Structure 1
Amino acid sequence: MRGLEELESKIGIKFTEPSYLEQALTHASFANEQGGGHQSNERLEFLGDAVLELAVSELLYHRYPELSEGALTKRRAALVCEATLEQCARQLELGSYLRLGKGEELSGGRERPALLADALEALLGAIFLDQGLEAARDFVAQILGSRIEGEEELFFDYKTQLQEALQRYRNYSLKYNLLAADGPDHNKTFRVGVMINGQQVAVGVGRSKKEAEQAAAQQALTLVAEKHGL
Structure 2
Amino acid sequence: MLTLKYQRLEQRLGYHFQDKRQLQLALTHRSHGATNNERLEFLGDSILNFIVGEDLFTRFPEAREGQLSRLRSQLVKGETLAEIAREFELGECLILGEGELKSGGQQRDSILADSVEAIIGAIYVERGLDVCRERVLVWFAERLNKLSLNTSAKDSKSRLQEYLQAQRQPLPEYVVVQVGGEGHAQIFTIECRVVLSKQPTQATASNRREAEKQAATLMLTQLNID
Same fold (TM over 0.5): yes
| Residue 67 of structure 1, CA deviation | 1.2
Q: 1:77 corresponds to which letter in structure 2?
A: S
Structure 2: gaps (5+ residues): 156-177, 191-203, 214-226
Partner of 2:123: 127
Q: Secondary structure at the match of 1:10?
A: helix
Find the partner of 1:63 among 59, 66, 71. Answer: 59
| Residue 183 of structure 1, CA deviation | 3.6
Q: How does 1:14-29 map to 2 (within 5 A)?
A: 14-29=16-31
| Residue 59 of structure 1, CA deviation | 0.8
Using structure 1 for the length normalisation, give the TM-score: 0.66
- Mapped to 2, the partners of 1:155 and 1:210 lie a distance apart of 23
Find the partner of 1:77 among 50, 73, 97. Answer: 73
Q: 1:83 to 1:48 in 2, by over 3 A?
A: same
Greater gyration radius:
1
Q: 2:53 corresponds to which letter in structure 1?
A: S
| Residue 189 of structure 1, CA deviation | 7.4
Structure 1: gaps (5+ residues): 33-38, 159-181, 191-205, 216-230
Q: Secondary structure at the match of 1:40?
A: coil
Aligned length: 170
Partner of 2:37: 41
Q: 1:91 corresponds to which letter in structure 2?
A: E
Verify: 1:99 aligned to 2:95, yes or no.
yes
Q: 1:71 to 1:123 in 2, by over 3 A?
A: same
Q: 1:17 to 1:207 in 2, by over 3 A?
A: closer
Partner of 1:187: 187
Using structure 2 for the length normalisation, give the TM-score: 0.67
Contact 1:52 1:140 in 2 (8 A): yes
Q: Secondary structure at the match of 1:149?
A: helix
Verify: 1:9 aligned to 2:11, yes or no.
yes
Contact 1:96 1:110 in 2 (8 A): yes
